[in-house]
Amino acid sequence: MITRPAVRRAHAARLAGYSFLILFIELTLIRYIAAYVRVFGFFVNFVLIATFLGMGVGLLRARTRAESGWRRWLPALSLVALFAAVKLATLIRISVGDDKGEYLWDVLPQGGFGVGLVPAVLVLFALTAALFIPLGAGLGREFRRFKALTAYTLDVAGSLTGVLAFGALSALRTPPLVWFAIALTIWVALSIDVRRGLPSALPMLAGAAGVLALVAWTRAAGERWSPYYRITIGAAKNLPGPCVYVNGMLHQCMVDFRKEPFLYGAYSRPYMTIPRVDTALVIGAGTGNDVAILLHRGAKYIDAVEIDPVIYSIGQAQHPLKPYADPRVHVHINDARAFLRTSTRKYDIVAMGTLDSQTLLGGMSSVRLDNYVYTVESFRAVHDHLKPGGSLIAYHMSPRAYIGAKVFQLVAVAFSQLPLADLDNRELFNLTVVAGAGANLRPLSVPRVLVAPVQLPTDNWPYLYLSEPTIPMHYLVALGGVLVIAAVFIGLALPGAPRAIRGPHDVALFGTGLGFLLLESKSVTEMSLLFGATWTVNLMVFAAILLCITIANLIVSRMERSALPVLFLALFLALGIAYAVPADALLLLSPVLQWSAGAGLVALPIFFAALIFALLFRDHPEPPRALGVNLMGAIVGGLLEYSAMALGIKTLYPIAAVTYLVTLLAVLRWREQHSEHQQDRQGERGRNQPDLSPVVAMGRSEGLHDMA
């Protein structure tokens, strides 16, 4: 006999299972789609927004009854449609266009016909959102079986497990076939109806088989998966040696300089200006070409920093000169800014390889992986790691003149001198910059194109590839398309056009979703700046945010609704402090205090925001719909995050503060309405009760008579 506690535990497991799947599949799609559809790498934040949209629509449509007919086929159909679109996108040419606002790496023709960038992105966005609708509906059905905070805590626990599980698979360098096999197995298990048995999961089982077949078909021969890229090795036209391709795009070639004297001369030309190379730091060491050059020139100690462990391992195993096998070389798998922040060693030379991130953006922001390397503050950190007679060599592939001008002027500002520039070294790079002592050995002749007025990237506006502070047109058009798709999805989810937001309570929940997404995006970028843009830092940030939410849920269960104004005041104070304290001020502290203070500045606003949402959510009469409304707000927050391109990342805090101010006004209005409702109910009860005053008066008179 199945006991009631056992049934409750089963439903709790199902709720956590749906939450696990939503986070796990979201992270999987962020990695997978961008790896095969290169242009989608510029829009990976759209996967996050699509997740919120699909999940929110599913929650708004959640019902307790089991799905039947076509609804049972919807998950399978949406899965197959999405992955068929991904496969199709690998076979056609996607035209980037000529947007002058931001440089996008050229997308080579892959077929006989092409489609525009924005239509391709929006199709993938819509199919991704559709995929999460059945997951949101399943989550909503399980939500109704528990009290609001209990359900929300189970939801967060499942999400945290999904993040950690995907992080473990990334650390093990597993391929997508493993990710999807795990996710689809769990989804099939959740699709089984206890009353119908295994046949009820047959549609989902068929869809899972189709998806795994498509994933296996799309897979390229010999591909490897790092925590950042899909990596393949092959030959390149007019370039020697085995070459590394990331997400299908040429990244670097491993050159045997013994057989390529012309390339050796091109590579080593900047080193001819360097008086001393005893100790060296190579940032963006890749497969080891720069390390090989420095070893040949007699370096006695080399620190080689590379963020991608798989690219390093390829160089270690396959570079013909075996530079990483030399005992003088010390390898650090780390982010460049993180290494510069924690290392105290000074060098005769710092060599910066081409650290371009190709099409790779962070999963929750519009900031590319390499953006914090090319800022004024970053080059000043490089300058501080040079000995008094030290030199910098920076290579860059600058496909547009304004990008090269930015790199040149960043070095000039950081070193307080005009650097030496080489625009003729086109065999490998189209810009080489030398600064420090090495720039003083020959007369300077600076090309006019490098001193044209440009907006220099800073840690607050780290956009090397933007010509100026603006939101590029391709983003604006795509964001408008996302809003249209969201309106259509919500309209289909709520036939008859009922209001998704019903009163100030829902307005407050919408505002908390919008504000929290901005805080979350800011926390990811802030922690990337402080501790590196590595996948492990991002994993820890996501896990810490979910842990903050869990702690907030436990605290709120013992709090009164009257605490809301105090929590808002604490949130505004935390936002003010986080905005006022610049990130580089923490560099004056010890590493332990940097972690503590940095985590505190980022975590406090998120913690108070989580407390506010938990209190509002706890008292909502329809928890699944409340969570859906909150996710609708998060969609708008995800779109507003792109405003940082025009206004700077720091402005996300003021925007969040204004959002929470409007939310506070909605909360005060809701409390006022609730108080009026309570008074009306008490008055209604009084009117419905019989008038007992004559009886009471008679009793009193009888009592007085007896006393007399």
Q: Any alpha helices (H) in 532-651, and if so which ranges?
A: 535-556, 564-580, 591-618, 623-640, 644-647
The pLDDT, as a whole number, for residue 583 is 66
Looking at the DSSP assignment, which residues form a beta bridge with residue 232? 245
Where is pLDDT greater, at 628 or 442? 628
Whether the pLDDT of residue 638 is over 80: the answer is yes
| Interval 515-532: pLDDT, tens | 999 998 888 777 777 776
> Could you identify the residue written with the tokens 């982010």?
335
Residues sharing a CB contact under 8 Å with residue 496, sequence separation 6 or more, in sequence order: none
Q: How confident is the model at residue 686 (pLDDT cuts 50, 70, 90)?
A: low
Where is pLDDT greater, at 74 or 706? 74
Query: How many residues does this entry show for the chain?
Result: 708
Cβ neighbours around 65 below 10 Å, total:
6
The pLDDT, as a whole number, for residue 43 is 85
How many percent of the chain have pLDDT more than 90?
39
The CATH code of domain 499-681 reads 1.20.1250.20
CB 290 within 8 A of CB 281: no
Helix (H, G, I), strand (E, B) or coil at 566: helix
Q: How confident is the model at residue 694 (pLDDT cuts 50, 70, 90)?
A: very low
Residue whose C-alpha is closest to residue 89's, from 32, 27, 38: 38
How is the beta sheet containing 301-306 ordered, strand by strand? Answer: 329-333, 301-306, 279-283, 347-352, 386-396, 431-436, 420-422
The pLDDT, as a whole number, for residue 356 is 61
How far from the centroid of its chain's Cα atoms is residue 555's Cα? 28
Q: How confident is the model at residue 65 (pLDDT cuts 50, 70, 90)?
A: very low
| Interval 14-64: pLDDT, tens | 999 999 999 999 999 988 988 888 778 788 789 999 999 999 988 887 654
The pLDDT, as a whole number, for residue 238 is 75
Q: How confident is the model at residue 219 (pLDDT cuts 50, 70, 90)?
A: confident
Whether the pLDDT of residue 391 is over 70: the answer is yes
Structure tokens at 676: 């009026």
CA distance 335 to 244: 20
CA distance 324 to 663: 56
CB 49 within 8 A of CB 121: no
390 backbone dihedrals φ, ψ, rounded to 5°? -80, 165
Please count the CA atoms within 13 angstroms of the CA of 547 that sit on its side-chain side: 10
| Interval 352-389: pLDDT, tens | 987 765 555 544 455 666 778 899 999 999 999 999 98
Structure tokens at 527: 């922690």
Q: Where are the domains of the chain?
A: 1-220, 259-357+376-451, 499-681
The pLDDT, as a whole number, for residue 385 is 96
What is the arithmetic mean of pLDDT over 213-237?
87
The pLDDT, as a whole number, for residue 125 is 92
The pLDDT, as a whole number, for residue 698 is 34
Structure tokens at 327: 């005992």
Residues sharing a CB contact under 8 Å with residue 470, sequence separation 6 or more, in sequence order: 101, 645, 646
CA distance 645 to 656: 16
Q: How confident is the model at residue 279 (pLDDT cuts 50, 70, 90)?
A: very high
Full DSSP string of 80-124: HHHHHHHHHHTTSEEE----SSB--------SSSEEEHHHHHHHH
The pLDDT, as a whole number, for residue 265 is 81
Whether the pLDDT of residue 423 is over 90: the answer is no
CA distance 706 to 212: 92
DSSP label at 37? Answer: S
The pLDDT, as a whole number, for residue 63 is 58
- Classify 416 in phi/psi space as left (phi over 0), alpha (psi -120 to 50) or beta: left
CB 91 within 8 A of CB 110: yes
CB 265 within 8 A of CB 244: no
- Angle of helix 535-556 relative to helix 148-171, nearest 10 degrees? 160
How many percent of the chain have pLDDT more than 70?
83
The pLDDT, as a whole number, for residue 281 is 97
Q: What distances in angstroms separate CA 468 from CA 103, 370, 461, one per listed residue?
A: 11, 18, 10
Cβ neighbours around 317 below 10 Å, total:
10
Strands 224-225 and 279-283 turn out to be unpaired
Tell me what the pLDDT averaged over the chain comes to: 83
Whether the pLDDT of residue 146 is over 60: the answer is yes
Report for 33-37, 71-75, 685-689: range of highest mean pLDDT: 33-37
The pLDDT, as a whole number, for residue 302 is 97
Residues sharing a CB contact under 8 Å with residue 201, sequence separation 6 or more, in sequence order: 188, 189, 191, 192, 193
Where is pLDDT greater, at 31 or 241? 31
The CATH code of domain 259-357+376-451 reads 3.40.50.150
The pLDDT, as a whole number, for residue 479 is 93
| Interval 475-487: pLDDT, tens | 899 999 999 999 8
CA distance 649 to 643: 8
CB 528 within 8 A of CB 362: yes
Whether the pLDDT of residue 684 is over 70: the answer is no
Degrees, nearest 5: CA angle 251-243-423: 55
What is the arithmetic mean of pLDDT over 320-341?
94
Whether the pLDDT of residue 108 is over 50: the answer is no
The pLDDT, as a whole number, for residue 68 is 44
Q: In degrees to the nearest 10, what's the CA dihedral of 141, 145, 146, 148?
A: 40
End-to-end CA distance of the chain: 70
Burial 669-698 (b: 16+ CB within 10 A, else e): ebbeeeeeeeeeeeeeeeeeeeeeeeeeee
Q: Do domains 259-357+376-451 and 499-681 have the same CATH topology?
A: no
The pLDDT, as a whole number, for residue 703 is 39
CA distance 323 to 289: 8
The answer to whether the Cα torsion of 185, 50, 249, 242 is positive or negative is: negative
| Interval 292-316: pLDDT, tens | 999 999 999 999 999 999 999 999 9
Q: Any alpha helices (H) in 343-464, and if so which ranges?
A: 376-384, 401-415
Structure tokens at 322: 């075996």
What is the arithmetic mean of pLDDT over 98-111?
54
CA distance 267 to 580: 44
What burial class does residue 22 get, using C-beta atoms within 10 Å of its C-beta: 0-12 exposed, 13-18 middle, 19+ buried?
buried
The pLDDT, as a whole number, for residue 611 is 95
